[in-house]
Amino acid sequence: MLSAAVAPVALMTGWLAAGSATPGYDPVRSSVSALAAGDLPNRWIMTLALVVTGLAYLVTAVGLRTADGAGRGLLGLGGVATLIMAWIPNAHAAHNSLGHMIPSYIAFVSLSIWSAVVARNVPGAPAVLRPRFGQVTAVVLFLLFIVLVADIVTGGATLGLRERVLLTAQSVVPLVVTLGVVRLRSPALPEPAFQA
């Protein structure tokens, strides 16, 4: 549960701290990747945030044993892709390199769809591990991803904002799933004893 909570905190803290340390950075227009570009003196802030986030996804995927292995594998793939993104930054803040974009898109897709295949068809499974929850969540995340891609293709002015909405949603879903699983495992509160 701790790793699932660390991911969104690290990600959001990273882009807030790196953005405030980068003069002229516009979080509505510019991508998060621009904060870790090789030509920026404070790139280590966003790079560290991506490393912590990627590791948090990996630990959550390993620890979420109640969930189906395919979904956990996709969550872990998203973590590995996030680590690769940190390892291969864009050379310049204003230019996306292919080596950075490929793991970025792998992370976006795997973190969007993992919840659709994490369900376990077993009696008494928590709501977060049922097919309907995972499918609805994956559809919403994938629609956010399509909206982001549309902004990239059309050269829209809200790339940074759309990316942050998607990244935030993707980082919160593992926490929601973990909380749902942990809540089911916790013992029920005893019924109060009533006296006549």
pLDDT in tens, 175-192: 999 998 887 654 443 333
In this prediction, residues 118-146 reach a mean pLDDT of 88
How many Å apart are CA 105 and CA 110, to the nearest integer?
A: 8
pTM for the model: 0.87
Binning the chain into helix, strand and coil, the percentages to the nearest 5 are: 70, 0, 30
pLDDT of residue 93: 67
> What does pLDDT average to over the chain?
88
Q: Which of 166, 173, 154 is nearest to 33 (CA)?
A: 166
For range 123-152, the mean pLDDT: 90
Contact 170, 141 (CB under 8 A): yes
**CA-CA distance, 191 to 167, in Å (whole number)?**
41
CB atoms within 10 A of CB 2: 10
Of 82-91, 148-157, 182-191, the least confident: 182-191
Q: What is the mean pLDDT of residues 44-49?
A: 95
Residue 65: pLDDT over 60: yes
* In the chain, % of residues over pLDDT 90: 61
**Cα–Cα distance, 52 to 145 (Å, whole number):** 22
Tell me the mean pLDDT in the region 88-116: 88
Two tokens, residue 95? 């230019």
pLDDT class of 95 with cuts at 50, 70, 90: confident
Give the pLDDT score at 147.
94
Q: Would the pLDDT of 162 be above 90? A: yes
Q: Centre a 10 Å sphere on the Cβ of residue 97 and count the other Cβ atoms it contains.
A: 15
pLDDT of 105 > 60? The answer is: yes
